Amino acid sequence: MYSMFGSTVAAISTPRGKGGIAVIRISGEEALTVCEKFVSPKSGKALRELRASTACLADVYDEEGGTLDEAIVTVYRAPRSYTGEDTVEISCHGGVLLTESILARALACGAVQAGPGEFTRRAFSAGKLSLSQAEAVIGMIDAETRAALTLSRTNLNGAIRRKTDAIYDKLKALVSGVYAVIDFPDEDLASMSDNEIHDGIAEVVHALESLRRSYKTGHAVCEGVRTVIFGKPNTGKSTILNLLAEKERAIVTDIAGTTRDVISETVTAGNVTLRLSDTAGVHGTDDTVESIGVRKSIEALEEAELVLAVFDLSRGLDAEDEEILAHVAKRADLGIPVIAVCNKSDLFDADANNDDIDKIGKALGTAPLLLCAKSEESRDTLVERIEALFESNDVFLADQAVITNARQHAAVSEALGHATCALDTLDVLGADLACTELELAMSKLGELDGRQVTVDVVDSIFHRFCVGK
């Protein structure tokens, strides 16, 4: 076992496979010493004689002194490198065997295989990145939409860090101001009035509430919303899946019960990413396979963050539709967004079916969407409704702090809870006890960007990275 920060590590930082180039990164106190054992600049200089942040053409040798490759080698010196350590990057030809051979030489010459996310973890430990910025690196790698890429870039540039720093500093000023007067009563220190303390805490609460609200958008853009298409058989659920996926992902026939299992697909709805599941039609059945499909459909409904409840009003609402409505109404009562889609609008008259439409709207507390899933124009209508649920007019992805994952949301929510409690405590028990809650708020906020975070949390974050990043 080796100490993560006491060793020099190496890994291939580009994807495995054939390509024009591949990059092997070596980072640590002995990076130059390791590389000088098998890398020789064509200029005749030793690597340590090269100026920092410069590249050179070099030969890379195997264990017998034969040339493995001619590569571009770049030297970075601490602290002006990605990791904050001495770093060497070897850009070689992108063959699988070749890159693995060069990595093997680095390991044979004294480096240790880097673990998942180890280079970025070293950058975090060196103070080059905050924890939210490190998570933004993952976001940029995993981004599937331009919106997700823009938001991750904004957070990598420190938007969350700047926002939380400002809130943290405000909390620190409030706490230190109150405790200074309590601890040094004879020093004639200027004390804050209860009104000033109240206004200061209220400002913190407002800022934390704004940050917490941003999660709805950040999660939808970057992580994706677990979405289930739910309804009885033959209402057009699979057609809606195909409409959103913009391809024939599910089999569509006039035969009821074509879908017997959950079909999953990731689709983009404007700026929102949907982790979409098309489920088997929910209805009474004695068929063993269909019964399993119905059970899985209900399980998917219970885990969903967005429900597309599909009804076919060309046949009017029946008992099975009533059962579907009861299921999704329970989710709506729990605050889960539900969009009722009255499909096959080309086959029914909205005026004639007005009672059914009103019944669905009253049960779910929102007007149903009338559309024909076979029409490509219907996609824009549905996407617009979905974006309205998850995008906020207060959030600007390119320049505003937006939290994107459950860890960040939990930290902000707990900090907000303590700040709100401090506001209540101030009015009843006084400023000194209110400050206890403010200190707890600082602690929770500190967890968000790594000021006061446990090793286990850091480990769980960086293990989401690939090896080489």
Looking at residue 237, what is its pLDDT?
A: 87
Contact 108, 66 (CB under 8 A): no
Average pLDDT over the chain reads: 86
Amino acid (one-letter) located at 445: L
Average pLDDT over every residue of 60-70: 93
Task: Tell me the backbone φ, ψ of residue 375, rounded to 5 degrees.
Answer: -95, 125
Confidence of residue 314 (pLDDT cuts 50, 70, 90): confident
Q: How many residues does the chain have?
A: 469
Average pLDDT over every residue of 442-448: 89
Average pLDDT over every residue of 272-293: 72
| CATH 1.20.120.430 residue ranges for the chain | 137-219+401-449
338-343 and 39-41 as β-strands: parallel, antiparallel, unpaired? unpaired
Q: Under CATH, which number does the domain 9-128 receive?
A: 3.30.1360.120
Contact 333, 302 (CB under 8 A): no
461 vs 408 pLDDT, higher one: 408
Instruction: Map tokens 């601490």 to a residue.
Output: 78
Confidence of residue 2 (pLDDT cuts 50, 70, 90): very low
**Which pairs count as long-range contacts for 190-199, CB under 8 Å and 24+ apart, including other chains?**
192/431, 194/426, 194/431, 197/426, 197/431, 197/434, 198/423, 198/426, 198/427
- Give Dmax (Cα) for the chain: 87
pLDDT at 188 over 50: no
Confidence of residue 252 (pLDDT cuts 50, 70, 90): very low
Return the structure tokens found at 273: 């990413």
Q: How far apart are CA 111 and CA 255, in angstroms?
A: 62
Q: How far apart are CA 386 and CA 435, in angstroms?
A: 42
Percent of the chain with pLDDT over 90: 50
Q: What is the separation of C-alpha 281 from the centre of its chain, rounded to a whole number of angstroms?
A: 31
Using CA atoms, how far residue 367 sits from 133, 336, 360, 364, 399, in Å, is 40, 15, 8, 8, 34
Which of these, 203, 25, 20, lies nearest to 119 by C-alpha position? 25
284 vs 110 pLDDT, higher one: 110
Looking at residue 180, what is its pLDDT?
A: 61
Q: Under CATH, which number does the domain 137-219+401-449 receive?
A: 1.20.120.430
Q: Cα–Cα–Cα angle for 138, 143, 145, nearest 5°?
A: 160
> H helices then E strands: how many in the chain?
15, 13
Residue 381: Cβ-neighbour burial (10 angstroms; 0-12, 13-18, 19+): middle
pLDDT at 256 over 80: no
Looking at residue 205, what is its pLDDT?
A: 95
Looking at residue 34, what is its pLDDT?
A: 96
- Buried b vs exposed e over 323-358: b needs ≥16 C-beta within 10 Å? ebbebbbebbeeebbbbbbbbbbeebeeeebeebbe
Average pLDDT over every residue of 43-72: 92
| CATH 3.30.1360.120 residue ranges for the chain | 9-128
Question: Is CATH 3.40.50.10420 the classification given to domain 224-373?
Answer: no
Looking at residue 263, what is its pLDDT?
A: 81
- Name the CA radius of gyration of the chain, rounded: 29
Confidence of residue 309 (pLDDT cuts 50, 70, 90): very high
pLDDT at 369 over 50: yes
